Amino acid sequence: WAVFGKCKKAMVEGAEYMYPANYGEGCAIHAEPGHSACSDTSTGTPLTVNRSAWCDTAFSWVNPCECTASDMAASAYFPGLYYSYSVCGATDSYTTAAPSSDLKASAGCPSPEPPSAT
């Protein structure tokens, strides 16, 4: 989603914020400059008090067609991208909705190959 390594706008809590080009790439704790649970959204500076636990939990983007993690979820910030905390050995305390059972279908994943007629 980062074109030529530039920042990307994300819609978070009804407002647009700039996120780093590498946001969500690889298992890491990723900066959350646009979420009031993690940062002062007027400056993007991380909160030092009253910070939600999920702000400091590693996650990564995943390929929805190959991921088997039970906590895989669609990104609310970046449509078309999917994330998981468990692939990083962490527990998802951010996602409040139950995971959709048809994420693979909504992601447009191909159907499995039909059985061969041998």
Q: Give the mean pLDDT of the chain.
A: 85
The pLDDT tens digits for 23-43 are: 999 999 999 999 999 999 988
pTM of the model: 0.80
Q: Report the sign of the C-alpha dihedral through residues 88, 26, 76, 111, in that order.
A: negative
CA angle in degrees (0–180, nearest 5) for 43-26-90: 85
Cα 14 to its chain centre, rounded Å, is 17
